[in-house]
Amino acid sequence: MNQIAQMPRVTPTWLGIREPADAAARSGELVALVRRHATAGPRPVFHDLGCGTGAMGRWLAAQLPGDQHWIMHDRDPDLLELAASDMIDKAADGSPVTVETRPGDVTELTAADLDGATLVTASALLDLLTRDEIERIAAACTGAGCPALLTLSVVGRVDLTPADPLDARVGAAFNAHQRRTVGDRSLLGPDAVEAAVDAFARHGARTYVRPSPWRLGPDQVELVSAWFVGWLAAAVEQDPELAVAAAGYSHRRLMDIAERRLEVVVHHQDLLARHE
């Protein structure tokens, strides 16, 4: 089994719960910057890397006018099947949107694989990768001469209101988990955007970085609880000494969530890279 295949699989349920918050969080300013280029030419071709169930395509295709063809890439064939079946078939102005899928490891893509691409997109992918893998993606995009809109990378900052004395320790352990080593892959986690900015700049692209935080209110109980359970489990996996304190913390926070008094901001960044 290769090391990418050793990474835990993402469930369609989790992707479905987070999709509305992702859509609300991504930077509209970066879409505005890319819109003219993305709608030029007879039939723009978009490659979505690590597409999951296709949320990025559904979000962006609906904001762009004109014919579009989307090529969905993921290593998980079950998610790819959902990405194809659940893609929207009409653009913002009613023009047709078509879709195809490409299974495989997106970090192995070359400029030749992206030949003719109008735009490469990704969402919630970069922080799962290593420095070398991001370097290869930057080389492939810039080699193919297409811009890249890479959204929703974690930056290692979470604000919980009201605060709890254990928040900072759990947050630090979670960030360490994001930066863990799997086999010989050192994941970038919160360092991913900086690494991508450096990589694209080395290949001559200009980069724009914008904040794209999830701002989760007390009524978003399903997403806040699913996020919290995953966040705490990753922190305890990373720092098993947290386990005893985490039991009480988990109880307090799940009560806060059930009684609709917890607000959470999970900070992310979006990145647009393009030649100018």
Ligand X SMILES: C[S@@+](CC[C@H](N)C(=O)[O-])C[C@H]1O[C@@H](n2cnc3c(N)ncnc32)[C@H](O)[C@@H]1O
Binding flag, residue 226, ligand X (CB under 6 A): no
CB closer to ligand X, 37 vs 136: 136
Q: How far apart are CA 123 and CA 112, in angstroms?
A: 22
Binding flag, residue 57, ligand X (CB under 6 A): no
Binding flag, residue 106, ligand X (CB under 6 A): yes
CA angle 12, 155, 83 (to 5 degrees): 20
Number of residues in contact with ligand X, rule: CB under 6 A? Answer: 20
Q: Are 274 and 206 in contact (CB under 8 A)?
A: yes
Binding flag, residue 172, ligand X (CB under 6 A): no
**Sequence-separated (6 or more) residues with CB below 8 Å from residue 227:** 18, 214, 216, 264, 266
In whole angstroms, the minimum distance from the beta carbon of 47 to ligand X comes to: 12
- Position 204, amino acid: G
Rg (CA), the chain: 19
In whole angstroms, the minimum distance from the beta carbon of 132 to ligand X comes to: 12
Binding flag, residue 141, ligand X (CB under 6 A): no
Binding flag, residue 105, ligand X (CB under 6 A): yes
- Contacting range for ligand X; rule: CB under 6 A; set: 45-53, 63-71, 194-202, 209-217: 45-53
Residue 133 CB neighbours (<10 A): 23
**Burial class (CB within 10 angstroms; exposed 0-12, middle 13-18, buried 19+) of 72:** buried
CB closer to ligand X, 56 vs 272: 56
Chain positions contacting ligand X, by CB under 6 A: 4, 10, 15, 22, 50-52, 55-56, 74-76, 79, 105-107, 123-125, 128
